[in-house]
Amino acid sequence: MKRIVKSPWILCFLVLIIVILVAFNIPIEKRKYGLAQSGMTTDYTGLLPEHVDRVVKATNRTDLQNIVKQANLEGKHISIAGLQHSQGGHTYYKDGIVIDMRTFNKVMEVNKQEKTVRVEAGASWEDVQKAVQPYGLALKVTQSQSIFTIGGSLSVNAHGRDIRFGPMADMVKEITLLTPKGDIKTIRKNDALMGYVLGGYGLFGVILDVTLDLTDNELYTIHTNKMKTSEYESYFKDVQSNAEIAMHYARVSVAPSSFLDEMYAIDYYKTGKYDQKTKLKEESFVHLTKYSLDMGRQGGFLEDLFWNTQNLYMKQIENSQITRNNVMRSESTFMEFTKPGKVEVLQEFFVPVGEYGEYMKDLKQFLPANDADDDFKIHNITIRYAAKDKTTSLNYAKEDMLGLVILIQHGLQEDDVQNAKKMIQKWTDITLTHGGTYYLPYYPYQTKEQFKESYTNWKDFKDEKQKLDPNEVFINNFYQNYLK
């Protein structure tokens, strides 16, 4: 100790070490959103702040039943909130009651023999993964991250990297539902009501718990391939017919020098080995990935540099092994974005697999390759497969589709929002001409007409809603915007 205090150089060295330690532990600032934003409720983007009457934490079924019955009597409105990653006010309504499902999150039973899990709907995929992983089991379909609730995911009928088990709706065996009248009901596969509750955006009652089919937590080998965008359509058809590939996704370049020309495909090959021991992965290298994305966010040559670093990353992961559970829990913190006056939103457009090549050509005509000086910037495009869905009423995949998930940044000034609206509406038009649709959990830049053209079943959905919930007890901004 004496020696340390005596020499200024040793002290200097100590300071250096501390500085390095602190610099690596500076946390990434997270978006502030949700149910308690100074009296106003928001969701993930914070774009639609609204006053709500009160927020009720879901704890037991009888209380929830009473709230619904009371709302019927008093003409009150209820919205349901999971982790609120939806972006268009889907989880709240002006002066309504919000049921916060996050506290309703027990994993009730894991059945190893039947490969099923029964879980309360406020649990996240992460909770389910923690419960099923020790049995060597994994989920069949989830988003690529595990940060969402089961109820929230089923209510949008989400999709991810799996290409073998069909839409998310197909893995649901049974649902316990609190109906708009306040009854508790069990609904099973093939019940007509299933198609309205799944992908029903919380408009047909509260999903209390669900029983989901599981599969084995297989070990996969990652193979990555760089290709021209024009080659991807036939590449993907080969992937589909190759039974050895269990999961897949792809990235499209948004860097100016290879804009919409280059792609990486990431395939997960079966190894036939099953895993019970590998730990669920935690977020790693968060700062590195966050600052790489921040670099890409600057646009121009920095975005080229970002694309090239992804090239290095692809080389690094080539031939590495990963469990099914870990494929389904990608990092998310690196996406945090808190720049004042700007917002980052997601949009997703689906086109039939056979239309992909032509669609990308049209997009290339429409979008500027270098958006460094524009307000409307595209930071990332990934491609997911959305299998043909025969269950849900508001169906975004009437045939096998490829979904382009797009990360967009734009300003919050009125002009900027209007410009973003114009761009996204044009983009939607292009998608519609290719027989495509767009995804509904995000901010509603689209017009009501575009909604109706995309979701041709909308009338049936609305009629059923009015039949089952004549008092419009379950309502949210999504309903208000598109269906009222």
Ligand X SMILES: Cc1cc2nc3c(=O)[nH]c(=O)nc-3n(C[C@H](O)[C@H](O)[C@H](O)COP(=O)(O)OP(=O)(O)OC[C@H]3O[C@@H](n4cnc5c(N)ncnc54)[C@H](O)[C@@H]3O)c2cc1C
Q: Residue 59 or 230: which CB sits closer to ligand X? A: 59
- Of 12 and 312, CB closest to another protein: 12
Whole-number minimum distance, CB 333 to another protein, in Å?
13
Residue 260 engages ligand X in binding (rule: CB under 6 A): no
The stretch among 15-23, 48-56, 235-243, 359-367 that binds another protein (CB under 8 A) is 15-23
Distance CA 180, CA 183 (A): 8
Structure tokens at 289: 């990935």
The pattern of x and - marking residues 111 through 140 that bind ligand X according to CB under 6 A reads ----------x-------------------
Q: Which stretch binds another protein (CB under 8 A): 3-11, 119-127, 267-275, 299-307?
A: 3-11
Q: Which is nearer to another protein, 11 or 36 (CB)?
A: 11
- Which part of the chain contacts ligand X (CB under 6 A), choosing from 33-41, 202-210, 268-276, 372-380? 202-210
Contacts (CB under 6 A) with ligand X, residues 155-194:
155-156, 158-160
Among 34, 82, 96, 296, interactor with ligand X by CB under 6 A? 82
Cβ distance to ligand X smaller for residue 145 or 257: 145
Residue 23 in the binding site for another protein (CB under 8 A): yes
d(CA 109, CA 100): 23
Q: Minimum Å distance from CB 411 to another protein?
A: 15
# of chain residues touching another protein (CB under 8 A)? 21
176 contact choice in another protein, ligand X, none (CB below 5 to 8 Å, kind-dependent): none
Question: Would you mind telling me the total number of residues written for the chain in this entry?
Answer: 484
> CB under 8 Å to 68, separation ≥6 — which residues?
78, 178, 179, 180, 181, 182, 205, 206, 473
Taking CB under 8 A as the criterion, which residues in 138-157 touch another protein?
Answer: none
CA atoms of 386 and 324, how far apart (whole Å) = 18
Residue type for 94, please? K
Residue 120's alpha-carbon distances to 57, 108, 151, 210, 245, in angstroms, are 14, 7, 8, 6, 32
How far apart are alpha carbons 35 and 193 in whole angstroms? 29
Q: Examine residue 441 and tell whether it contacts ligand X (CB under 6 A).
A: yes
326 binds, among another protein, ligand X, none (CB under 5 to 8 A by kind): none
Structure tokens at 405: 């998930």
Check if the beta carbon of residue 10 is closer than 8 Å to that of residue 51: no
One-character DSSP codes across 313-382: HHHHHTT-EEEHHHHT----GGG----TTEEEEEEEEEEEGGGHHHHHHHHHHHS-S--TTSSSEEEEEE
Give residues 26-65 in contact with another protein (rule: CB under 8 A): 26-27, 29
Binding another protein by CB under 8 A: which of 60, 338, 456, 466? Answer: 338
The token pair at 42 is 């928001």
Among the residue ranges 19-27, 79-87, 105-113, 305-313, the one whose residues contact ligand X (CB under 6 A): 79-87
| C-alpha distance from residue 74 to each of 97, 122, 125 (Å) | 12, 26, 35
Q: From ligand X, another protein, none, which one binds at residue 210 (CB under 5 to 8 Å depending on kind)?
A: none
25 binds, among another protein, ligand X, none (CB under 5 to 8 A by kind): another protein
Handedness of CA 110, 160, 163, 396 (dihedral sign): positive
11 lines the binding site for another protein (CB under 8 A): yes
Give the HSE-up count for residue 97: Cα atoms under 13 Å, Cβ half-sphere. Answer: 21
Q: Give the one entry of another protein, ligand X, none that residue 23 binds, where binding means its C-beta sits below a cut-off of 5 to 8 angstroms depending on kind.
A: another protein
Query: What's the first-to-final CA gap in the chain, in angstroms?
Result: 73
How far CA 366 is from CA of 52, 306, 360, 369, in Å, comes to 40, 23, 10, 9
Largest Cα separation within the chain, whole Å, is: 82
Nearest to another protein of 392, 409 (CB atom): 409
Strands of the sheet with 342-352, listed across from one edge: 321-323, 218-228, 262-274, 245-252, 377-386, 401-411, 342-352, 437-438
* Residues binding ligand X (CB under 6 A): 44, 79-86, 90-91, 101, 121, 143-145, 148-149, 151-153, 155-156, 158-160, 201-202, 206-207, 332, 335, 346, 441, 476, 478
Binding residues (CB under 8 A) for another protein: these are: 5-8, 11-12, 14-15, 18-19, 21-23, 25-27, 29, 294, 338-340
